[in-house]
Structure 1
Amino acid sequence: MRIRTEVALPATLAMACALLAPAGTATASSAAAPPLPTCRESSLDVTAAASDQPETLRISIANHGRQACAVDRIPTVVFGDLDGPALPVPEGGSAAYRLPAGGSAHAAVRTLDPAASELRVVDRLTVAGDPAHRGRSFDAASLGAPDGVRVWEPVTTWWHRSTAAADAALERHTG
């Protein structure tokens, strides 16, 4: 489910702005750029790899399409057949994240809470740029975990412009 937040101006302020605008001038609401289309899954390359931090993975998404498009700001990361995706840090709802043509975005995923007293082991991880996409699956061995990925209360950062920014965000919110 996507949550959209709108800010409404008080009626008197909106009317005052409309009266002060010269004739033929577009108001902020009528001049808003159209929303970006959701990236087609076929125009995205998704990667996942082990990190130098324990129980942490790095994921990336690249737009090889010819136009900018939008993915969800929260990567969809699902572990094997376990219920539900990794939770976002910071908390927040879905929103569009602009991915320029030829551009990429990065996120960090912590698979296992350091304080966990329980865990599950899965043989694969699936990553998608949008909850409506099927995503790409990665087997545990390709992620540096030949005995399986250890999982308990996994979290993922939002998309960031660099791996360093994603790593810093994960540390800031889970460290």
Structure 2
Amino acid sequence: MKLAFEDFQFDIQALTLSKDGRKISLKEKPAQILALLITQPDKIHSKVEILEEVWPGRTVTEQVVFQNIGHLRALFGDEAIKTFSKKGYQWQLPCDPVEAKAQSSSASQDNTPSSRLESDTANEVKQVSVGQSAKLPWMIIVPALLAVGVFGGYLAFA
């Protein structure tokens, strides 16, 4: 079964993630956590429950859950997974089942080399702009603020 949210599709059985038709690398443990959260979005999942489900019979610290949740938030944004203090984590983004018809009809669309190239180019541009848009403001704002502070300090003492 596949579920769609935002521009993503997640295959729960295969534990594969794609965005705009392109496969996204996702390690096994974060994918298992995603599957747990996304299949029961109304439930708050405790760290202990996640540990038992994803690392059964293994002794690992709760820190590993925190790290993997952080990895998922890096992919989907902070609003995707809500933390409930002392309770656990809950999936927040609306999900829809992906119908088999939609998958087969998109696969049967015009598949000429030129249309694939145009489609691939559009997807690449979109992926770059989506990936950089979340990081760009801080990459510009922080150095700019530092420069203003240094320059202002220089003028104050000059």
TM norm structure 2: 0.23
Report which of the two has the higher share of helix.
2
Report which of the two has the higher share of strand.
1
Higher relative contact order (CA 8 A, sep 6+): 1
Query: Highest CA radius of gyration, 1 or 2?
Result: 2
